[in-house]
Amino acid sequence: MRVVVQRVSSASVTIAGRVAGRIDRGLLVFVGIEAADTAADGDWLAQKLVKLRIFDDPDGHVHLSVADISGAILLISQFTLHASTQKGTRPSFTAAARPEYAEPLYRQFVSQVTVALDRPVQTGEFGAMMEVALVNDGPVTLIIDSQRRE
């Protein structure tokens, strides 16, 4: 699994004119699943996200996690995170898992993050056309790939 993590002051996802998910301070996480991913990748990544220390403490030092600040998480599925642009100018998405494999893993990942955070998370809708709005805080943006354990 590959994720793009953004520390946000607020974020929301709208589908067909309806707000499907909204958070205040926390993490907006775009989630891409590839064919090699398993539930173990989701578990590792869920723990990493919840414990990732990218929020300021009262002294202005980056020492706190989303769990420490009682922040929220908004998860958005995004297969384009596994795009390859090696050849030409048209991205190839062959590394992205097929929907019939990716969707159950994504749903399981939502559950894994919910358990790790110990409260519900907000989501978009797998496979839907979504409009995502955010106020990036910092900005702080990280890319984490479970296959590389980075």
| Cα separation, 99 vs 127, whole angstroms | 8
Residue 150 lies in a domain: no
| Cα separation, 76 vs 123, whole angstroms | 6
Provide the pLDDT for residue 148.
85
Q: pTM higher than 0.75 for the full model?
A: yes
**Active-site positions?**
78-80
Domain count, the chain: 1
Residue 36 lies in a domain: yes
Query: Taking the CA atoms of the chain, what radius of gyration do you get in angstroms?
Result: 15
Q: Are 5 and 55 in contact (CB under 8 A)?
A: no
Residue bearing tokens 């296959």: 147
Q: Please list, residue by residue across 37-60, b when 16 or more beta carbons sit within 10 angstroms of its beta carbon and e when fewer do.
A: beeebbbbbbebbbebebbeeeee
Q: What is the block-wise mean pLDDT of the chain (150 residues), using blocks of 10 residues? A: 97 97 98 95 97 95 96 95 87 90 97 97 96 96 88
Provide the pLDDT for residue 84.
86
Residue 87: give its domain's CATH number.
3.50.80.10
Residue 48 lies in a domain: yes
Domain membership of residue 78 as a residue range: 2-145
